Amino acid sequence: MTKAAEIDIVSVSKIYGQTTAVHAISLKIPAGSYCCLLGPSGCGKTSTLRMIAGHESISEGDIRLGTKVVTDLPPARRGTAMMFQSYALFPHLDLIDNVAFSLKMKGVEKEERRRKALEMLQLMQLEPYATRRPAQLSGGQQQRVALARALITDPEALLLDEPLSALDPFLKIRMRAELKKLQTTLGITFVHVTHSQEEAMALADIVVVMNDGRIEQAAHPRTVFERPATAFVARFMGDHNVITGRVVEKVENGIIIEVPGGGRFQAIDGTGEIGDAADIAVRTDRVMLAETSAPTLGFTGIVQNVEYRGSSVKMVVSGAGIEDFTLIISDAAFFANPVKMGDAVPLSWNSGDAIVLGRITH
């Protein structure tokens, strides 16, 4: 079953009447990789997945799967299988008939298709429930049935529409691990739509962050987290403070920006003309409660909020023209020198921890 296909999306748009849901996106998903489409609701991630699956017509552009262009093919002839958000199991059929559904549609003999479906259920460890109806199963079991039903078509790519959203948090983490294991075993391409950055980071080989019908960044999760391409990505992935200002000085390997009515901050890995608007990001876990070594790598602010989280403490500080600057420090560091709301504290970070964010020109 190792016949994964590369998915190539070439300037694909989706237009509903007057509104454009997806703006000419291009994306290459390597064969056999686990790709997560990540973004807030309404960002076009589900439309993109449904266009790959063939459940949504493609307004403009083309989609290639392996060697064939599938733009105008019906879902079943694309070599993809889709797993729906609420699993969409047939409530009137037992598990065997649910899993064997696509074989029945192809006209496979009853004995043959029941045998294959049972094999698939065995693989998913659902054999004892073979004659039950979907309503008699738990959420996690239903998900495995949906997986079995999708995989029996022997697809080159599996498309998953928010597969974990219907599960409780504990089960979510368990099924997440199962999905990853399954993908590794089968070696086929998985495309997984989610709005949870935690889910995307845990699963994906490539995270595709989408916003407003456009791709903001498509890269390995580590790159997306450590080098977010835009302010949107930095905010959406969390654990970053985004500071917006204007470029006032160019330095070696970076720029210095000035926040309106506030301080100046230096960041690396970016360029910009003096006077341009620019965003920089500072990782929340890299900020220290200490006097700055250089005036552009920290500020003094007033503590707005302190939250104890066990192994760490989250603080929100305002100052130097920046509202709600978040930092997370270890509990040891915090309790060695505790502060409380209203205190003025010095903050600082190293020069490598502030990076310049790009801006997409639409």
Partner 1 sequence: MTMVVPPPKTVKVEALEKPPITLPPSLISWLQAAPLTIILGAFLALPILMITVVSFWDYDFAQMYPDFVTFNYAETLGSWVTWKTYLNTLKFTFLVWSITLFIGFWVAYFLAFHIRTSAMQTVLFLVCTVPFLTSNIIRMISWIPVLGRNGLVNSALIETGIIAAPIEWLLYSDFAVVLAMVHLYTLFMVTPIFNTMMRIDRSLIEAARDAGASGLQILTNVIIPLSKPGMAIGSIFVVTLVMADFSTVQVMSGGQSASVALMMKNQMSLLQYPAAAANAVVLLVLVLLMVAGILRIVDIRKEL
Contacting positions for partner 1 (CB under 8 A): 53, 55, 74-77, 81-82, 84-86, 88-92, 101-102, 104-106, 149-150, 153
- Least separation in angstroms between residue 141's CB and partner 1 is 17
CB closer to partner 1 out of 68 and 77: 77
Residues 6+ apart with CB under 8 A from 66: 5, 6, 31, 79, 156
Long-range CB contact pairs, 149-153, < 8 A, 24+ = 149/89, 149/98, 149/99, 149/101, 149/102, 150/81, 150/82, 150/83, 151/81, 151/120, 151/186, 152/99, 152/100, 152/102, 152/103, 152/116, 152/117, 152/120, 153/76, 153/81, 153/102
Least Å distance between CB 36 and partner 1? 20
Q: In this structure, how many other beta carbons lie within 10 angstroms of the beta carbon of residue 214?
A: 18
Q: How far is CA 176 from the centre of its chain?
A: 13
Q: How far is the CB of 29 from partner 1 (least distance, A)?
A: 19
Q: Could you tell me the smallest distance in angstroms from the CB atom of residue 353 to partner 1?
A: 45
Nearer to partner 1, 94 or 285 (CB): 94
Amino acid letter, residue 87: Y
Q: Please identify, using beta-carbon distances, which residue of 88 and 202 lies nearer to partner 1.
A: 88
Nearer to partner 1, 57 or 337 (CB): 57
Q: How far is the CB of 82 from partner 1 (least distance, A)?
A: 5
> What does the alpha-carbon distance between residue 157 and residue 51 come to, in Å, rounded to a whole number?
13
CB of 85 to partner 1, least distance (A): 7
Angle at CA 89, nearest 5°, toward 83 and 95? 110
Are 317 and 255 a contacting pair, CB within 8 Å?
A: no
Q: Closer CB to partner 1, residue 14 or residue 214? A: 14
Report residue 51: phi and psi, to 5°: -70, -35
Lay out the sheet containing 68-69: strands in order across. Answer: 19-29, 7-16, 60-65, 68-69
Closest CB to partner 1 among 92 and 340?
Answer: 92
Decide whether 90 or 335 has the Cβ nearer to partner 1: 90
For residue 340, CA distances in Å to 80, 303, 313, 328, 353 come to 55, 7, 12, 14, 25
**Which of 23, 83, 32, 82 lies closest to 54, judged by CA?**
82
Instruction: For partner 1, give the closer residue by CB, 53 or 233.
Output: 53
Q: How far is the CB of 126 from partner 1 (least distance, A)?
A: 18
User: How many angstroms separate the CA atoms of 93 and 76, rounded?
Assistant: 21
User: Shortest gap between Cβ of 191 and partner 1 (angstroms)?
Assistant: 14
